Structure 1
């Protein structure tokens, strides 16, 4: 049961929290983190087994509990903003294969805004939060355009 949960949790963070996945992999702590998270569900697994719940219900219930603090997904939130508000940038990043990497960078850039506004499931539909994060994403994209422009100018001057 725990191995199934570990697999499901890994799949969940791969899809919804790649920023956490990359950070844990970089620190070589992914496996320990997965086992620690799943072990917190031990009492719930026992309780659900004792009440004769089917395995798939136990797995889903435990996964919901384990992933509670990972929701809402900042990754999916920014991805949605990028896709709806910055469609051209979204398409360019998607075509270049850099979409996931750049969204993870945007999360780092926007983390203080998310934290200051106490981003949570209860307020993820709040328009003020959406405007604030949209502004931060816009700032990130603009700063990358400036950096790219400077880099291109430096490359051109180096060629001459």
Structure 2
């Protein structure tokens, strides 16, 4: 179970939060981060095991809890904005193999906007946020 949780958490991070993935890799702290997250959910896991819950259910609930602060994905949000609103640049970045890198840079450029609008799963989609991000991405691409 522990190994599966570790693999699933890392897979989630690499797909949805590559900015975090690079930060963890640069700091040589991948293992520490993953193990810390898993240790925090182990009491819940043990409770679910004692309740005879199926393994896949336990893993899913544990993954949801471990990734709560990582959702929604700023990376996926930025990538969606670039895909929809800047298709020429999206294709250029994708073909050059730098799409992930550029999206990570755009996340950093938009962090204050995400904070100002309280970007979270608990808030419904906000058109003002989207327009602010589009404007900032436009500025980023114009540099």
Q: Normalization by structure 1: what TM-score? A: 0.87
- Does residue 24 of structure 2 align to residue 28 of structure 1? no
CA contact (8 A) 1:5 1:59 kept: yes
- What residue is the counterpart of 2:106 in the other structure? 106
- What residue is the counterpart of 1:63 in the other structure? 63
**Residue ranges of structure 1 left out of the alignment (5+ in a row):** 144-160
Question: Whole-Å Cα distance in 2 between the matches of residues 116 and 29 of structure 1?
Answer: 29
1:124 Cα deviation (Å)? 5.2
Question: Whole-Å Cα distance in 1 between the matches of residues 110 and 85 of structure 2?
Answer: 16
**Residue ranges of structure 2 left out of the alignment (5+ in a row):** none
Give the 4+ runs in structure 1 shifted more than 2 A. none
Question: Whole-Å Cα distance in 2 between the matches of residues 88 and 128 of structure 1?
Answer: 24
- What residue is the counterpart of 2:83 in the other structure? 83
Structure with larger Rg: 1
User: Aligned pair count?
Assistant: 143
- Does residue 143 of structure 2 align to residue 119 of structure 1? no
